[in-house]
Chain A
């Protein structure tokens, strides 16, 4: 079905700012209603956007990212990819394999594999030859500045290097959407700046849509759009403010 979504979506690419992914009335309730991680969220991420999702701890940022990549499901409402609602689990599998890359705060790498092997994992089952996978994984590691340590076990890498591996794994399939959940949260300040630079660089060079969850206001300020969450609800969205004319346009929008 998603292939159909993709094909159908091609017809209006000329618009330039078409919706890539959107949430429609999404709520995420835990513990039988005791905890509302997200409350009736309506949100649209456009192709090419660079979005920072900010908010205090427990505001629903990670829940939002989890739902945007389909590793968690809304209790109510639905997610729309390029204009088509995503309803089946297999659609999410397809999207994560080819269209959505995810970078986590905890890296989520396989500790028994090397940097190169972790990146290669994302290419398994894509119908590529082993040689092609190996070459491509190595090339992407080079793009994130890790071409000097491809064969090191990830447990032997520094936090910054591990996050580079995670980014390489997320972008190796050339996704349209890169989701990064607190990507600098576990890094020292120098590594954090380098990883942030890398993410923005990839966004600028490839045009992939970047959604970044962060606590760091300075990092958020580097994004062209900020969405602020509080108690599971969107309380501020600079895009809406821009569209309604209450703030000056940013250069990247």
Chain B
């Protein structure tokens, strides 16, 4: 027997205490991972959606508070197309459209000739033909949540659209999209000859100086700014607010989880005050006692963290299947999130075990032995 096997025996032979402590740690770690992942996923989902649509630059109205809040005249889009180095571009009108069956859906309006139609990963059907009106391609998650299939009718802004295609985008946001001809959306939103943003593809995007030059040329047109897709949300006040909210949620999640981990370990160690007194009585040094307690805490922490990570993976599997969550945000607890959370849990477990053990070894051994 050594200190590790002693810890394992103790844990094995106190199944209820071990179970409750491990589950406590597991719930704390799993909860922290889930909440932090969810809070991050709001912005991440939007970024993924923008990246999947494509483009090297996103052009939007200068001074607009959020990405969907500004408007650019279609004429400006035409002037951008004339800038040298621009390979292709597409204006895009964005709106949250009342659908009648699933509340508001995110609707994109693309010009009939936009290259974006050709990039749709169609799962079924087709894209609207040039000049075709009141036709829509919907994401598979939108189709599922609205209960619509190919050739069904769909209500948007009070008008009726026919579902001509089902798209199989990968990102959560795009899976919930409704794509319609630009003219239809302009008419429905009373925004004739306007788009919300334009996506621009550069001929030589790998050349940073070329990208910067095109960007400057676009912004020189006045009233518009151009940003890389991953920078777009940096200018968005709504996402800044969401980001702040996400951080607040993450801080609360971490604080609550830290408290849970500490409580689990402190209680598990406090319960052993008498045992600590026995160790003292048989000649164990304080260092050896602390080492023994910490080893036991670390073993519980390792099992609890494993359980927590497993729970977060189960949540990753389950949440996308809940339409109210899965249609809006993705949930991906990656290594970049798991590593710091698990690391923090280990630090807390060591502290949670050391603090009461330190108190116990400082206690008069005779007093510790009197504890039940």
Does B13 make an interface contact (CB < 8 A)?
yes
Indicate whether A96 sits within 8 Å of B281 (C-beta atoms), given known contacts A112-B14, A117-B1, A124-B1. Answer: yes
Whether a CB of chain B sits under 8 angstroms from the CB of A122 is yes
Residues on B with C-beta less than 8 A from A93 are 280, 283-286
Binds B, one of A4-12, A67-75, A194-202: A67-75
The stretch from B68-76, B93-101, B154-162, B364-372 touching chain A is: B364-372
Nearest CB in chain B: distance from A151 CB, A:
12
- Counting chain A residues whose Cβ lies within 8 A of the other chain, the interface size class is 20 to 34
Question: Is the pair A72, B364 in contact by a Cβ cutoff of 8 Å?
Answer: yes
Q: Mark B284-303, 1 if CB is under 8 A from A, else 0.
A: 11101000000000000000
Q: With A and B bound together, what is the CA distance between A120 and B277 in angstroms?
A: 17
In the complex, whether B9 has a CB less than 8 A from a CB of chain A is yes
Identify whether the interface residues of B are mostly helix, strand, loop, or mixed: helix
Asked if B324 is at the interface (CB within 8 A of a chain A CB), the reply is no
CA distance A83 to B288 in the complex (A): 29
**Structural contact, A71 and B3, CB atoms closer than 8 A:** no
Report whether A71 and B369 are in contact in the complex, using a CB–CB cutoff of 8 Å: yes
Which chain B residues (254-287) contact chain A, with CB distance < 8 Å?
A: 274-275, 277-286
A66, A97, A112, A120: the one contacting B10 at CB < 8 Å is A112
Of A14-22, A42-50, A102-110, A207-215, the segment with at least 4 beta carbons within 8 Å of chain B is: A102-110
B-side contacts of A109, CB under 8 Å: 278
Q: Which residues of B contact A153 (CB under 8 A)?
A: 13
The answer to whether residues A104 and B282 also contact, given A112-B13, A117-B1, A153-B13 and a CB cut-off of 8 A, is no
Q: How far is the CA of A153 from the CA of B13 in the complex (A)?
A: 10
- Inter-chain pairs besides A121-B6, A122-B283, A124-B288, 15 sampled, C-beta below 8 Å: A70-B365, A71-B281, A71-B366, A90-B285, A93-B280, A93-B285, A94-B283, A96-B282, A110-B278, A112-B14, A113-B9, A113-B13, A120-B1, A122-B282, A125-B288
7 examples of A-B residue contacts, CB within 8 angstroms:
A71-B369, A72-B364, A102-B281, A108-B281, A110-B10, A124-B1, A130-B2
Across the A-B interface, give the 7 residue pairs with the lowest CB-CB distance, nearest first. Answer: A97-B283, A96-B283, A71-B365, A112-B13, A72-B366, A66-B366, A71-B366
Where the two chains meet, the residues of B that have a C-beta atom closer than 8 Å to any C-beta of A are 1-3, 6, 9-10, 13-14, 274-275, 277-286, 288, 364-366, 369
Q: Which residues of A contact B (CB under 8 A)?
A: 66, 69-73, 90, 93-98, 102, 104, 106, 108-110, 112-113, 117, 120-122, 124-125, 130, 133-134, 153, 169, 173
